[in-house]
Structure 1
Amino acid sequence: MSSQDIIAAIHSLISEGKSVSTAAVRARMSGPVNMASLIQLVNQYKQSPASLAPMTEQTQTKAAQQASQEQRINALEERVARLEQLLAGKAG
């Protein structure tokens, strides 16, 4: 999960009027989280709430594009690995 995902989770807690803690933010995350980033961002929020500005529409679009590109790269890497296995099988 990226820092933007962590920030989004922090903002969702804030919008619901819940306290921001490492455990509460972690519970909002759907996958593995870099705990160092999580702790750093929660501490940053606690010291200066304004420092974690809400994501703008442009930032959300960039995050979505990056996720889409990462998915395409992963799919291509899987295809290359399968092709390499096929080639290795025919060569042997």
Structure 2
Amino acid sequence: MPKLGGIAGCYVRTGQITRGTKVRFIREGVIIWKGAITSLRRFKDDVREVREGFECGIGLSDFQDLKPGDLIETFEEKLVVRT
């Protein structure tokens, strides 16, 4: 376990997870944490991304309150310029 965070054992149901991506944890329909993935592993291998249908371990920088059933959702923030 990393010194500053936790590891979430996950199964990717749809899409993909990429190292460095921003994520939010949802528990019972409420967002309980937002942050970034600091490490991503498949078995003992450090990987860049994990696709749908595979298991992985996600390293988190400052979150340890993980519970079975928590949903991890990736998201992307984009700056949109007004015209």
Answer whether TM exceeds 0.5 for this pair: no
More helix by share: 1
Shorter chain as normaliser: what TM range? under 0.3
Q: Which has the larger radius of gyration?
A: 1
TM-score normalised by structure 2 residue count: 0.27
If the length of structure 1 is used for normalisation, what is the TM-score?
Answer: 0.25
Q: Which has the higher strand share?
A: 2
Instruction: Identify which of structures 1 and 2 has the higher relative contact order when contacts are C-alpha pairs closer than 8 Å and 6+ apart.
Output: 2
